[in-house]
Structure 1
């Protein structure tokens, strides 16, 4: 697993061009104590700077180049042999090279000055976290009021970040995926991402949290149950579950018939092959079994 350190290589110069001068004290335009402390921490680690010696401009928008630079700095990404553009290099070329070398999904139609949207930055952030190792993630599908506005290729990243507590929804349970990202929003997301890595990465706890994956016998979601009468003696039961990617499976391991008329269906989430790569697309898995008529189906994790 990659150790995160203060960024000193790929874009030390370009960071100063992205965020301007740095103040040794709190920014005049940031007064909330939690935000002041957060920015102080990120600045000390070389991840963000102000637009001037005493201004951060928290409500200002973040450009594509600035956002990619933040991701590169936050996760200490290394530049490979990629070349983004021929000719004289611009301040952000090194960051693009590093992001490309690590396999991040930088926008196909690149525009360094284009304002980043919340969904694009969230996807880059999740991919950045994944460059540092594998982490336990709760298998929980979060209701997002404006989910229909999220592009399908970003849905899984946003769901995972919500489960990691790296991002959150607003008071209307919306994510506002197409809104442009502010500098403060980006800083808060990056800060929470690094806090998550500190908790569960190298040097943090390696214990699996109950109800998380990877790991065997850890079930975080309860499958949906449906039933269909086959004949007077038999009922077919189907259990269904949405999982983070196509590598996961769902199996019925046992059925216990209780004296109180319940059929306890024991299920297990099958883990992905660790030697294969899977697209981060939420995938529905299902399994079926038959139970005697007169029993009420219920589900429970297999152990």
Structure 2
């Protein structure tokens, strides 16, 4: 059974054999919408490093999503070096066989931070799905406090239910988005990247109509959503994170033909600008609207650890 068939068969998120309850001391997730500034202020990379322990952190780059891994690795090594990082190198993972190498898992487990570059999330998951390297990412994040960041394709792959392909349609339609199983580090949401710049709201809504049990996260370019299990969520960079909650929505998807226009009634939509924090307990400043507070609490809930 391939990942896409498994995704359909499992439906809702349920622990299964090989999955264990995670621990509370997990690391943070930094979900970047792509096109982050690597050469001037580097605000997103700076934030990533802060959550990883500063410039002394051992940073590993996962470049398996891109067709130009050497070029991507060189670019990020230079950017992190300019921020004072002495120990930054790319994991030697470009093919699926690489993800089975013991030295790769060892390097992941010893890292303070892993940054997943852009490219093609389907390519990334073809390399990583059900490999020791993927299991090491889970153990490092959930049990070893490793901060994991991902940009563009690396951001899309953070979720368990992942957008694999689909054009940026102008109107929400049935069957225009292909989904697959991602890394599963974020189990409560679907992530879409380059969000405002590529006008992907209708695409995200099309995906959520099939999975109203999940939240939708649309992350703009040069923008990141930081998920901290203890504190809540924070938006950094220059743009906005669009949070769509279809929990209470009603849809006509079951009665539609393929590519039929979707009716979505009762959606909750929140725009979260950079520079704002949303605490998991709702404290600090103005109280969060109840629907948003519930969504934040869902986002910070840990998923299962895949071993």
TM, length-normalised to structure 2 = 0.27
Per chain length, whose mean CA-contact separation is higher, i.e. which structure has more relative contact order (CA < 8 Å, sep 6+)? 2
Structure number with greater Rg is 1
Which has a greater percent of strand?
2
